[in-house]
Amino acid sequence: MKKIINIAPEGYKIIFSISVVWVITYLLSIYLSYSWIGLLSVYLFYLLLMICYFFRDPIRKILNSEENFLSPADGRIISIKDWVDPDIGKSTKISIFLSVFNVHRQWTPLNATVLNSIYNPGRFFGAFKDKASEKNEQTSILFCDNNKNLFKIKQIAGFVARRIVNHMTEKLNVSQGQNLGFIKFGSRVEIIVPEKFDIKVKKGMKVKGCKTIIGNFK
């Protein structure tokens, strides 16, 4: 039987906790005559539905060639700028903003090997602001693809997002479309690629993880 909605494992604890509270308030609303408990039960039920929707985890079938660099996230491209990265050198940084309505799963864009994965605690500025790129809590993952091309994916927390889940570990071999991680409640994902990278997207475009071609290594 096909699932109506696939839920990300990263959301199980939150969904379970809210479900328990909702069940308790619902039972209390049946046995007690306080109207506010019934109202609270209704609010919690709709909150539970919203949380389940947020933690949806669609299974994406990849139809593109493995040589295409696919978007690691759903969202909107808010900037494409020149960058100097300590690991990659002269490069381009492509920033994707994820609103609370976007799927918050991240996927690996290419077959590659993880060279390192670094977590940096930080602030919680709005993820759409440029200063969030450097000052916010984030995880930075450096990859090397099968053709020895380096690239980096950064998961950045936002004003609402306070929890980054990263599944990448050093020396891990990953396949295109593999689960990279999850950012809970509003965030930003950045792609850092060398100058030689041929970019196929523009600022303002909406992108879809595992579907939109970000570009190719020349």
Q: Tell me which residues are annotated as active site.
A: 187
DSSP string, the chain: ---SSPBPGGGHHHHHHHHHHHHHHHHHHHHS--HHHHHHHHHHHHHHHHHHHHTB---PPP-S-TTSEE-SS-EEEEEEEEEEETTTEEEEEEEEEE-TTS--EEE-SSSEEEEEEEEE--B---TTSTTHHHHB-EEEEEEEETTS-EEEEEEEE-SS--EEEE---TT-EE-TT-EEEEEESSEEEEEEEETTEEE---TT-EE-TTTSEEEEE-
Task: Report how far residue 98's alpha carbon sits from residue 10's, in angstroms, rounded to the nearest whole number.
Answer: 17
